[in-house]
Chains A and B, each alone.
Chain A
Amino acid sequence: MLLYILKRVLSAISVVIVTLVASFALFFLAPTDPAGVICGPRCTPDRVADIENSLGLNKPALEQIGSYMKGIVVGREYSAGGTVQHCDAPCLGYSYTLGQPVTKLLAQALPVTISIVIGGAVVYLIVGVLAGTIAAQVRGSSLDKAVVGTTLFVQSIPYFVFALIVALYATFLPETRYTPFLENPLTWASGLLAAWLCIGVTNAAAYTRYSRASMIETLGQDYIRTATSKGISRRRVVYRHGLRAGLTPVVTIFGIDLAFQLTGAIFTESIFGLPGLGQLTLRAFGQYDLPVLLGGVLVGSVVLVLMNLVVDIAYTILDPRVRLG
């Protein structure tokens, strides 16, 4: 068990390190003139030289990666426009177009993305699991067929089209705006409601199908028959005895899904104009802000790898049937 966890952690670390080195190489060592790109159009040669110097682009490749990694651990200095900017400990570079450390930009963007994804997850988990469980109980009936047909239809609609139509036409929903949760929880919730509903409705379809399939399997088990024959009410059998076992695979899928949504809420953020991680990356793309792009990609990768790790380990602990190979 311990050995398995150790192996899993090591492989996760290897993925993160390779991502870091490969992305850095792609962004800064490729023959792409990063200094010129970072500096933008109408840039004086002096300023290009300044950036090149402060980023260490004229140094050998290994040293560059080394100082970038060192920046992540202990922080580093950047000179921007004559003044020296200090970039604190987990330093992921300095955005020259915004004049701020990348870490700070990411720290501002992440809460927005997390708010969107968590709220959406609450909606689709409740709707999906309920609909799936109900459909599983009346399996084969016309209600079941209607539910399955609807999920199939909803899943096939392109997400960005759906979100765009909601954003444009669902004007009865409160206006979308991000307010930090601690500032005012009520405006936080109402400002994100439209985004939550979009994520919720589209993802609920998949969760309906997962939980339906899983509940059908669970309700066919012997112990459910035993419980029913003991005279326990149907509702109690389904929601107490069945749901507990039936939800294990759903929770696993949820863990991985959540990680992907954290890194892929780009459409939601862009359509509703919410300043999250995706929006930040998108803006960085428009301005060729390479440090921000690199930072966004790295944070996204770490989030994804960590979530996968947590799900894997949690699953082996929760479900003794999983054999460790």
Chain B
Amino acid sequence: MEPLIEEAELARTGAPTDAMAAPTGGQNTKVNTRRKSPTQIALARLRKDKVAVVCGSIFLFFVLVAIFAPLLAKLEGQDTTTLHQDLIDQYGFPTIGPTSEHWFGVEPRLGRDLFARFVYGARPSFIVAGSVTVITTIIGVCFGLIAGFIGGWLDRVISWVIDFVLSLPYLLFAIAVPAVLLSFFVGTAEDAAAQDVSTARFYALIIVLSFFGWASLARLIRGEVLSLREREFVAAAKVLGVPTHKILFKELLPNLVAPIVISVSLALPTYIVTEAGLTYLGVGLTEPTPSWGLTIANAQTFYRADPLYLWIPVAAITIVVLSLSLLGDSIRDAFDPRTRR
């Protein structure tokens, strides 16, 4: 179809004319594409994208905070569990704000140091989100490859399972299943120690999120493989007698880098939010593990008396998720072949 006058106008001013590419905004900066693999081109494009660089740096900063949490807490000279009852007045409110000893002040009622709980609280979010992303990506890619390439009854079974998982109300399950898993891990929950419950909840969370997370990627990969397997290079590999597992992982997988990278970059912030959200609801991690979701849940009753208590984790999680999502969008722009020109 001949471009409309409007389209031509847009093309002249350099605005994207593809309807789906346009929503994400960013103009694709021209990068040198000669003698480079698609991934290298995408990375070069990403490096020139200011939003991506800023967001990536912010995310990296928080990851470093999580990694060096013990060091940072030591630098401040506090830990996550000591109760500073001397800094709490008779009504349970802290008598101090941020000081040189307690950088973010102390918790109301218990008087634990907030800075230490903040830096350690970054850890579970990243660990849960990271491991769930890795697990779902591996399972999703493997199932997608097998279903798409081998086909037949295997494809039908896997496709049915994908449809099945995708048609379950996952938030309801995310609440219901840990209750059952918990009794697997620690017996009847009433007599379990707090630390055991917290550890069990941690694994239950990873298991549940992984169980519901792989299906959408598997469906995506299956679709891609269905069209890829008709290509000449796959036929050539088959004729040459390359074993199936080699075709899958050496021939097909490199062609799936873009959808996988895009899916990972969009999944990570989602799981960070889900972890914090479920923990906030009281379904995820529990005391004594420090976690931002937990701090937000505890702090909401003190939002008037002690706004800093609430706003530090709220701001942190918002900034992390915001920068990760924007980074994910930039990554999609950089990797998506539809925006490549």
Contact = CB atoms under 8 A, between A and B. Distances in A.
| A and B: interacting chains | yes
Given A36-B188, A152-B25, A266 B281 contact: yes
Contacts of B10: 139-140
A288 B175 CA distance: 11
A15 B24 CA distance: 36
A11 B163 contact: yes
A184 interface: no
Which among A33, A156, A209, A277 has the greatest number of chain B C-beta atoms within 10 A? A156
B149 interface: no
A217 interface: yes
A296 B172 contact: yes
A134 to B, nearest CB: 14
By size class, the interface of chain B is 35 or more
A282 B281 contact: yes
Given A139-B22, A149-B25, A168-B300, A220 B169 contact: no
B167 A288 contact: no
A76 interface: no
B7 interface: yes
B148 to A, nearest CB: 15
Nearest to A225: B4
A297 B179 CA distance: 13
A282 B175 CA distance: 7
Interface stretch (A50-58, A93-101, A120-128, A300-308): A300-308
Interface string A284-313: 111010100110110011011100100000
A130 interface: no
Interface in A77-114: none
Contacts of A293: 175-176, 179
B317 interface: yes
B276 A160 contact: yes
Interface string B267-297: 0010001001100111100000000000010
B23 A209 contact: yes
A32 B180 contact: yes
Given A157-B321, A212-B23, A37 B188 contact: yes
A300 to B, nearest CB: 3
A contact patch SS: helix
A15 B322 CA distance: 36
A301 B167 contact: yes
B interface secondary structure, majority: helix
Given A168-B303, A220-B7, A159 B273 contact: yes
Contacts of B276: 158, 160
B281 A267 contact: yes
Contacts of A260: 169
A220 to B, nearest CB: 6
A30 B179 CA distance: 12
Contacts of A290: 179-180
Given A155-B325, A158-B318, A216 B172 contact: no
Contacts of B170: 264
A296 B168 CA distance: 12
B216 to A, nearest CB: 12
A222 B3 CA distance: 11
B153 interface: no
B13 interface: yes
B163 A158 contact: no
A104 B31 CA distance: 63
Interface string B50-89: 0000000000000000000000000000000000000000
A169 B314 CA distance: 14
B171 A216 contact: no
Contact of A281 (B176, B188, B325): B176
A15 B273 contact: no
A308 to B, nearest CB: 6
Interface string A189-220: 00000000000000000000100111011001
Contact of B173 (A151, A157, A297): A297
A308 B169 contact: no
B107 interface: no
A33 B188 contact: yes
A314 interface: no
A32 B22 contact: no
Given A15-B163, A161-B314, A37 B183 contact: yes
B180 A26 contact: yes
Contacts of A304: 167-169
A164 interface: yes
Given A152-B326, A281-B172, A140 B24 contact: no
A115 interface: no
A316 to B, nearest CB: 17
A165 interface: yes
A203 B106 CA distance: 36
A278 interface: yes
Given A149-B25, A293-B176, A296-B176, A301 B303 contact: no
B321 A156 contact: yes
Contacts of B317: 158, 161
A45 to B, nearest CB: 14
A281 B19 contact: no
Contacts of B321: 156-158
A212 to B, nearest CB: 6
A164 B322 contact: no
A159 B272 CA distance: 12
A183 B105 CA distance: 48
7 contacts: A19-B164, A26-B177, A156-B321, A267-B277, A281-B172, A285-B175, A304-B167
Q: Which 3 A-B pairs have the closest CB atoms?
A: A263-B169, A300-B169, A156-B325
Given A27-B176, A216-B19, A267-B281, 19 more contacts: A14-B160, A31-B184, A33-B183, A37-B188, A37-B189, A152-B24, A152-B329, A156-B322, A160-B273, A160-B277, A164-B300, A213-B19, A225-B4, A264-B170, A266-B172, A277-B172, A278-B172, A286-B282, A301-B169
